[in-house]
Amino acid sequence: MRQLTTPREKQWLLMAAASAEDTALLAEVVELRATNEQLSRALASRAVIDQARGMVMALAPCSSERAWDLLVDVSQHCNIKLRDVAAALVATTTDETLPEPMQRELRRALRRLHLEDRR
Protein backbone atom coordinates (compact mmCIF):
# COMPACT_ATOMS: atom_id res chain seq x y z
CA MET A 1 0.00 0.00 0.00
CA ARG A 2 1.27 3.46 -0.98
CA GLN A 3 1.89 6.03 1.71
CA LEU A 4 -0.35 9.13 1.25
CA THR A 5 2.58 11.48 1.31
CA THR A 6 6.22 10.65 1.24
CA PRO A 7 8.66 12.54 3.43
CA ARG A 8 9.79 14.40 0.31
CA GLU A 9 6.18 15.34 -0.54
CA LYS A 10 5.61 16.45 3.08
CA GLN A 11 8.67 18.66 2.86
CA TRP A 12 7.43 20.14 -0.45
CA LEU A 13 3.95 20.73 1.02
CA LEU A 14 5.44 22.42 4.10
CA MET A 15 7.63 24.59 1.86
CA ALA A 16 4.63 25.46 -0.33
CA ALA A 17 2.58 26.42 2.73
CA ALA A 18 5.46 28.49 4.08
CA SER A 19 5.93 29.99 0.65
CA ALA A 20 2.24 30.99 0.47
CA GLU A 21 2.56 32.55 3.92
CA ASP A 22 5.76 34.32 2.84
CA THR A 23 4.02 35.57 -0.29
CA ALA A 24 1.17 36.98 1.76
CA LEU A 25 3.62 38.63 4.17
CA LEU A 26 5.67 39.99 1.31
CA ALA A 27 2.56 41.44 -0.32
CA GLU A 28 1.64 43.08 2.98
CA VAL A 29 5.15 44.51 3.39
CA VAL A 30 5.06 45.91 -0.16
CA GLU A 31 1.65 47.49 0.50
CA LEU A 32 2.80 48.97 3.82
CA ARG A 33 5.95 50.40 2.23
CA ALA A 34 3.88 52.01 -0.53
CA THR A 35 1.53 53.51 2.05
CA ASN A 36 4.48 54.75 4.09
CA GLU A 37 6.04 56.39 1.03
CA GLN A 38 2.73 58.02 0.12
CA LEU A 39 2.31 59.38 3.65
CA SER A 40 5.88 60.69 3.67
CA ARG A 41 5.27 62.55 0.42
CA ALA A 42 1.97 63.91 1.78
CA LEU A 43 3.68 65.19 4.94
CA ALA A 44 6.43 66.87 2.92
CA SER A 45 3.86 68.43 0.58
CA ARG A 46 1.78 69.58 3.51
CA ALA A 47 4.70 71.48 5.03
CA VAL A 48 5.33 73.36 1.78
CA ILE A 49 1.63 74.08 1.34
CA ASP A 50 1.43 75.44 4.89
CA GLN A 51 4.43 77.70 4.22
CA ALA A 52 2.76 79.02 1.07
CA ARG A 53 -0.46 79.61 3.01
CA GLY A 54 1.50 81.69 5.49
CA MET A 55 2.99 83.70 2.65
CA VAL A 56 -0.44 84.36 1.18
CA MET A 57 -1.76 85.36 4.61
CA ALA A 58 1.11 87.87 4.88
CA LEU A 59 0.61 89.20 1.31
CA ALA A 60 -3.13 89.65 1.61
CA PRO A 61 -4.17 89.73 5.21
CA CYS A 62 -6.68 86.88 5.27
CA SER A 63 -7.54 83.75 7.18
CA SER A 64 -5.81 80.45 6.71
CA GLU A 65 -8.92 79.06 5.00
CA ARG A 66 -9.04 81.93 2.50
CA ALA A 67 -5.32 81.50 1.80
CA TRP A 68 -5.99 77.81 1.13
CA ASP A 69 -8.84 78.65 -1.23
CA LEU A 70 -6.65 81.16 -3.05
CA LEU A 71 -3.88 78.58 -3.57
CA VAL A 72 -6.41 76.01 -4.75
CA ASP A 73 -7.84 78.58 -7.16
CA VAL A 74 -4.38 79.32 -8.62
CA SER A 75 -3.70 75.59 -8.87
CA GLN A 76 -6.93 74.91 -10.72
CA HIS A 77 -6.60 77.85 -13.11
CA CYS A 78 -3.00 76.92 -13.94
CA ASN A 79 -3.79 73.21 -14.06
CA ILE A 80 -0.83 72.56 -11.76
CA LYS A 81 -0.86 70.46 -8.61
CA LEU A 82 -1.37 72.44 -5.42
CA ARG A 83 1.92 71.21 -3.95
CA ASP A 84 3.77 72.44 -7.05
CA VAL A 85 2.13 75.88 -6.86
CA ALA A 86 3.04 76.05 -3.18
CA ALA A 87 6.64 74.95 -3.84
CA ALA A 88 7.02 77.57 -6.58
CA LEU A 89 5.68 80.29 -4.29
CA VAL A 90 7.96 79.25 -1.42
CA ALA A 91 10.92 79.12 -3.84
CA THR A 92 10.47 82.84 -4.47
CA THR A 93 11.98 83.39 -1.02
CA THR A 94 15.29 82.17 -2.44
CA ASP A 95 15.22 84.58 -5.40
CA GLU A 96 13.52 82.19 -7.82
CA THR A 97 10.93 83.72 -10.09
CA LEU A 98 7.36 82.55 -9.98
CA PRO A 99 6.41 81.25 -13.46
CA GLU A 100 4.39 83.79 -15.44
CA PRO A 101 1.12 81.77 -15.56
CA MET A 102 1.23 81.40 -11.77
CA GLN A 103 2.06 85.10 -11.32
CA ARG A 104 -0.91 86.04 -13.46
CA GLU A 105 -3.32 83.73 -11.64
CA LEU A 106 -2.01 84.75 -8.23
CA ARG A 107 -2.60 88.43 -9.09
CA ARG A 108 -6.12 87.61 -10.29
CA ALA A 109 -6.87 85.57 -7.18
CA LEU A 110 -5.55 88.36 -4.93
CA ARG A 111 -7.70 90.91 -6.77
CA ARG A 112 -10.78 88.72 -6.32
CA LEU A 113 -9.95 88.36 -2.64
CA HIS A 114 -9.67 92.13 -2.21
CA LEU A 115 -12.92 92.71 -4.11
CA GLU A 116 -14.72 90.24 -1.85
CA ASP A 117 -13.36 92.05 1.20
CA ARG A 118 -14.77 95.37 -0.04
CA ARG A 119 -18.30 94.01 -0.27
pLDDT in tens, 49-88: 999 999 999 988 899 999 999 999 999 999 999 999 999 9
Instruction: Give the model's pLDDT for residue 13.
Output: 66
Instruction: Give the model's pLDDT for residue 2.
Output: 56
Residue 117 pLDDT level (bands cut at 50, 70, 90): confident
Query: How far is residue 23 from each of residues 18, 32, 34, 70, measured CA to CA in Å?
Result: 8, 14, 16, 47
Q: How many residues does the chain have?
A: 119
Query: How far is residue 64 from each of residues 28, 50, 56, 109, measured CA to CA in Å?
Result: 38, 9, 9, 15
Q: Are 60 and 97 in contact (CB under 8 A)?
A: no
Instruction: Give the model's pLDDT for residue 41.
Output: 85
Distance (Å, whole) CA 119 – CA 115: 7
CB atoms within 10 A of CB 47: 13
Q: What is the pLDDT of residues 83-108, one digit of tens each?
A: 999 999 999 999 999 999 999 999 99
Distance (Å, whole) CA 15 – CA 66: 60
Segment 27-45 shows an average pLDDT of: 82
Instruction: Give the model's pLDDT for residue 31.
Output: 80
pTM of the prediction?
0.68
